[in-house]
Chain A
Amino acid sequence: MIEVQNLTKYYKDFCAVDNISMTIRKGEILGLLGPNGAGKTTTLRMLTGYFRPSSGSITIKDYVMPEDNLKIKSLIGYLPESAPLYHNMLVYDYLEYVAKLKGIDDKEARYDRFLQLSDLCGLSAIMAKPIADLSKGLKQRVGLAHAMMTDPEILILDEPTSGLDPNQIAEIRNIIKTIGKEKTIIFSTHILSEAEATCDRIAIINNGRVVADDTTANLKQNAGRSSFIRLAIQGAQKNDVVDLLSGISEKLDISQVSENEKHILSFEIRCSDNTDFRSQIYLKIKETDWIIVEFQKESQALEKIFRELTREEK
């Protein structure tokens, strides 16, 4: 669907995107991760045809950039990083303008689409407001409506959930997952759990280079020894707990995190080869009269990979 080869972008002498190649298949949801200034926005801007690459090629369906620029633009719905919109227009007028430019000529069709979008993005209360008076999150919603106006085959969203309230974030993730079944979606985000929950595939960019590009499941698996068990216990002595747990296996590495005023002890238990010891731990504790207040497995896979791959070399 989308084929990117040796994509490079220089700003004067500064190389913001360095030789990126990737293929994105139809129906895939690709999450673009990376620290600030990594080159995510620059990459997305080249995909949408806003920036011309310094070198490299972009092919979308059978269309080649920059010859079929207009055709490509009509295939893509794009939400820019900070949803910059026309401040002095009313939301409705803005959507009308966008719909016309995107070629929805029929008045009825436009109106129907507005109704759907206003449901989808929660715009009904703000249709008659000037864009300048909207809050950041509301602007973001208008931007999303803009991106989805023509129900495009490809959606490119630059930090779509930034500035939204938790309800709206959940909603956007739902939208992404739902429409992602048929459409191709590329979005950038700083929220790792979001990428983990919604993406089929994750690409991590650092200093303009792709440092990881794999399916979400694979990435997590390769992260190795990065999950741990969080255990909180009431009515026990620290040493007793450590002794008991170390008795289960030598592979366990137990660290105490805290003890609060109600004498609840919190531990993090890691295992050197990632075996799941939860049942053994539970059975052991059941023999005592301690109370388990918290007992869960947590995975830091993505976060760990992200940290490792994007750490500044000193």
Chain B
Amino acid sequence: MKQITTIAIKEFKDYFISPIAYIVISLFLIVTGWFFFSTFFIFGRADLRDFFSLLPITFSFIIPAVTMRLFSEEKNVGSYETLLTMPVSFTDIALGKFFAATLFSLSLLVPTLSYPLFIAFIGDLDPGPVIGGYIGAVFLAGAYSSIGLFASSLTRNQIISFIIGCAMCFTLTILDKLLFFMPEKIIGIVNYVGSNSHFLNIAKGVIDSRDILYFVSVIFIFVFSTYLVMHEKN
């Protein structure tokens, strides 16, 4: 546990040393800011519906950029050897890096709290969906971070790791839009596997254990796969 915390803190601090963090933060704020303010100015609507409904897509590009360095950079520089020959288990490393990435992804959301504050200031804010949206975002960030972590463990090239991560997160996000291509028998399964509907359920303020279970399973599967990859590659 101590090891996990040590690794997580180190990785989290690392984000703020490298310029990538600031680029990612700015990009994220520009994109979400655009979703928010365009509806506000064009349609005169002050709500966070667009912000949250597009969050899965935004996250599927932003989070892989956050996670791409987790393993790839260490493998490329060679510090992976230093890390692995210290008395830490694969599980500690995988979890430490996972928590750091999730935490950083969540810290991206902190500036966006100004949107609901802004709405509350100029008009009526329905707190339910906002709270639900942020709770959903926590789970979504966790799930996509675990996918990005897994992608990063596969290669020493950060660009490839980013592309694999994006492809996987994006596919998971739009899976439910592809339903009508699928044979009827598997529609139910595919629908469950897609992340979008689970997120939107939580974001509506309906907190269902099935949705939570879904995200927790995704996180478990990909952190565990990362562990397997680490084990296989050494």
Residue ranges of A at the interface with B (Cβ–Cβ < 8 Å): 45, 48-52, 70-71, 73-74, 76, 78, 80, 82, 84-89, 97-98, 100-103, 105, 146
Contacts and interface: CB of A to CB of B under 8 A. Distances in A.
B2 A50 contact: no
A97 B6 contact: yes
A64 B120 CA distance: 63
Interface secondary structure of B, over-half rule: helix
Among B7, B18, B82, the most chain A Cβ lie within 10 Å of the Cβ of B82
Among A87, A88, A101, A103, the most chain B Cβ lie within 10 Å of the Cβ of A101
B97 to A, nearest CB: 13
Contact of A50 (B3, B79, B89, B234): B234
B123 interface: no
Interface string B42-55: 00000000000000
A84 B84 CA distance: 12
Contact of A88 (B2, B7, B17, B84): B17
B2 A105 contact: yes
Contacts of B18: 88
B84 A49 contact: yes
Among B6, B18, B87, the most chain A Cβ lie within 10 Å of the Cβ of B87
B76 to A, nearest CB: 10
B78 to A, nearest CB: 3
B85 A84 contact: no
Given A82-B78, A97-B6, A105-B2, A88 B14 contact: yes
Nearest to A149: B86
Among B14, B18, B81, B85, the most chain A Cβ lie within 10 Å of the Cβ of B85
Among A45, A100, A103, the most chain B Cβ lie within 10 Å of the Cβ of A100
B82 A146 contact: yes
A84 B82 contact: yes
Given A52-B234, A105-B2, A85 B82 contact: yes
Interface string B1-32: 01100110010001001100000000000000
A3 B2 CA distance: 32
Contact of A101 (B17, B77, B87): B87
A165 B7 CA distance: 33
A297 B167 CA distance: 70
B14 A73 contact: no
Contacts of A146: 82
Contacts of B14: 86, 88-89
B216 interface: no
Contacts of A70: 87-89
Among A71, A80, A82, the most chain B Cβ lie within 10 Å of the Cβ of A80
A169 B184 CA distance: 72
Given A88-B14, A88-B17, A97-B6, A103 B87 contact: yes
B51 to A, nearest CB: 33
